[in-house]
Amino acid sequence: MTHRTRRVVVTQRFFDEAAIAYLQAEGCEVAIADLPAGQADGGLDHDQLVRLLAGAQGWIVGHARVTRFLLSALPELAIVSRRGVGYERVDLEAAAELGRVVTIAAGGNDASVADQAIGMMIALGRRFREAQAQMEAGAWSILTGTDLYRKTVGVVGLGRIGGSVVRRLSGFEARVLVATSRPDADYAARTGVRFVDLEEVLEQSDYVTLHAPLTPATRHMIDARALARMRSGAFVINTARGGLVSDRDLLAALEAGHLGGAGLDVFESESDPAMRPVTEALIARPDVVAAPHAGASTREGLARTNMIAARCVVAVLNGQDPPPECVVADGRRTKVPTA
């Protein structure tokens, strides 16, 4: 069904033709931001965003900061649709008060990020990075690693991605410990996981993988004290949010030889440029496997999240409700949900 033309601006890279065609079929004029190579929308300032979004009713956004000031400057903007699941960079209270809707692409990237977390566990345990570096240098000596098979894995946070990781771990016959604010006895009975507190996860796990949102309560949940509680030689995997881990403390623990290594897709320097030297020191280490916040960036994962984000935009512009699991603020109902 075709509707009057509405302007939708996309400030994310890799927005595919199927999602564009869907928006156009629904009467939307689609504008893809032409960002310089290597720049993401998180690097755009207020004035740049205002120019890009002038006259837009819908915005499909990546990591740009969505402030009260910005929303006030864009009175026609009805929906901010994140092609992702985090929303800590969006002022939800301001969005609700100003009558806007904010959505996330719930369920679109669960499999992609879970695959990455498992892949990092295997790469760290089997020392893939170190082995290839030695071979490139001409040394073909064998480095002994460690299995994921039947190891103890601590999963911190049991949302959609954490649950996807738990399902994958069953194939490795892993003993799974879960730390979450919402333990579920039925889930434990079905899956065989044990719900424990964070301290027990840290003390017993061979691998600790983080899948929690970044909030004031979770910031630096993995700090020097937490790292000291971990088993000698254990691994930390963070594919969730920079800031859950104190990167400076993690670097110190690796330098001291306390940990076996770390798998990192997110870094504090993403939001704090002053932390860039710490990030560079981490990614230079042979016991660190790193990626540039790319956990959701598979062809399949991006296609799923692009379409979810597009469908949320169309629903709001048509005066309808997006899927409830995607809505994090709905100013049409003057309600701000809790994280």
Active site residue 270: yes
- Tens digits of residue pLDDT in 66-90: 999 999 999 999 999 999 888 989 9
The dihedral sign for the CA sequence 331, 337, 338, 339: negative
What are the domain boundaries of the chain? 6-108+298-333, 110-290
Buried b (16+ CB within 10 A) or exposed e, 154-170: bbbbbbbbbbbbbebbe
Check residue 183 and give left, alpha or beta (phi > 0: left; psi -120 to 50: alpha). beta
Q: Which helix (H) or strand (E) holds 109?
A: none
Active site residue 182: no
pLDDT of residue 4: 63
Catalytic residue, chosen from 63, 65, 270, 311, is: 270
**Whose CA is closest to 296, among 114, 72, 52?**
114
Catalytic residue, chosen from 7, 100, 211, 293, is: 293
CA distance 304 to 146: 34
Side chain identity at 174, as an amino acid letter? A
pLDDT of 94 above 80 = yes
| Whole-number average pLDDT of the chain | 95
Buried b (16+ CB within 10 A) or exposed e, 42-59: eebeeeebeebbeebbbb
pLDDT of residue 35: 86
Q: According to the CATH classification, is domain 6-108+298-333 in 3.40.1080.10?
A: no
DSSP code per residue over 138-159: T--PPPP----TT-EEEEE--S
Catalytic residue, chosen from 241, 268, 304, 311, is: 241
Q: Which of the four CATH numbers 3.30.70.1560, 3.40.50.720, 3.40.140.10, 1.10.3720.10 does domain 110-290 have?
A: 3.40.50.720
- Tens digits of residue pLDDT in 116-174: 999 999 999 999 999 999 999 999 999 999 999 999 999 999 999 999 999 999 999 99
List the strands of the sheet with 28-32, edge to edge. Answer: 28-32, 6-10, 58-61, 79-82, 101-103, 327-330
Mean pLDDT in residue range 10-19: 94
pLDDT of 63 above 60 = yes
- Tens digits of residue pLDDT in 181-190: 999 999 999 9
pLDDT of residue 339: 36
- Tens digits of residue pLDDT in 231-287: 999 999 999 999 999 999 999 999 999 999 999 999 999 989 999 999 999 999 999
β-strands 6-10, 58-61 pairing: parallel
User: Same CATH topology for 6-108+298-333 and 110-290?
Assistant: yes
pLDDT of residue 2: 45
pLDDT of residue 200: 98
Active site residue 63: no
Number of C-beta neighbours around residue 284 at 10 A: 9
